[in-house]
Amino acid sequence: MKYRSIIAALGLAAAAFAAPASAQDVTGAGATFPFPVYAKWAEAYRAQGGARVNYQSIGSGGGIRQIRARTVAFGATDAPLKGEELAKDGLVQFPTVLGGVVPVINIPGVETRQLRLTGELVADIYRGEVKAWNDKRIAELNPGVTLPAANITPVYRSDGSGTTSIFTSYLAEVSPSWKEKLGSGTTVNWPIGQGGKGNEGVAATVKQVANSIGYVEYAYAKQNNIPYALLRNLDGQFVAPDDKTFAAAAANADWSAAPGFGISLTNQAGAEAWPITGATFILIHKEPKDVKAAAEAVRFFEWAYQNGDKMAEDLDYVPLPDAVVEQIRKQALSQIKVK
């Protein structure tokens, strides 16, 4: 990351990418998790003479459907496709940034970082087994915090969502009951609660509904000023979500362990690791029909890897390590036939 930052600071990268004057507009669609950073990158890319990148924040499920239908130049998902799916659809998959999913709350009188929760408790709240905020199990973790005798309203994603995939994968890891009865995926059969579309919809619903709990990408919690809870990680430490705890969860990641870099970063060991950390991914056809649009999409992500670290960090995402970016160039971007 230091190497890329130095290049950007010297202003060499902007000259190097030299987008043609008639650069083709690019359309992408998918995950809401990375929308804030993709929008920021697109704005800066355009300002430096690149193409107009129009990213539609419609959820990971929608992004996968649209790239399979070839209606967009790139799709985006927080739930990485498996190797057999990538091969079947002729897709290349690669990560862009890391972030965290956080439990956001609206409990009158309870401020951000004041409430402590465990993964097992969150699972039981969403299963309807823990019904009120003053439940004994929650109260025992939070001495000195005034918890109301009010029913909890869980808020979940109503659309197919990579954020849901990360969240439910974590719950399935920490709760055998959750794994057995609900499992994990971009959608699950939520037994109780209220749905919201996109990270935006969940954030808005939690803000509106007293005594609710939801799950959103960290940037949405910060931008909407929604209180969030601390979580107990695998090492037994209660940690707060931020760029350092997201990076700690990915510190020992082996990106070559799954096709398309599709590894899981949930419930990782480490005293500082945030337990619901995840990467977000891009999907592009190896043999695109619209070669010009695909070439511009590749150029955009190359530019983002070279210039986008500071913008990502400002929005509380974690840039990928230089070694991973180099792997992506050699193993993913080089497979896309745009010449």
The pLDDT tens digits for 172-184 are 999 999 999 999 9
- Across the range 286-313, mean pLDDT stands at 97
CB within 8 Å of 336: residues ≥ 6 apart: 92, 284, 285, 286, 288, 294, 298
Distance (Å, rounded) from C-alpha 195 to C-alpha 216? 13
Which architecture, in CATH terms, is 101-252? 3-Layer(aba) Sandwich (3.40)
How confident is the model over 43-59, as pLDDT tens digits?
Answer: 999 999 999 999 999 99
Distance (Å, rounded) from C-alpha 262 to C-alpha 265? 10
Q: Is the pLDDT of residue 22 over 60?
A: no
Distance (Å, rounded) from C-alpha 43 to C-alpha 6? 21
Q: What are the boundaries of each domain within the chain?
A: 2-99+277-335, 101-252
Domain 2-99+277-335 and domain 101-252 have a common topology? yes
Short-list 268, 264, 262, 261, CA closest to 278: 264
The CATH number for 2-99+277-335, chosen from 3.30.300.30, 3.30.930.10, 1.20.1730.10, 3.40.190.10, is 3.40.190.10
Q: Is the pLDDT of residue 69 over 60?
A: yes
Give the DSSP H or E segment for 242.
Answer: none
Least confidently predicted of 3-7, 40-44, 157-161, 277-281: 3-7
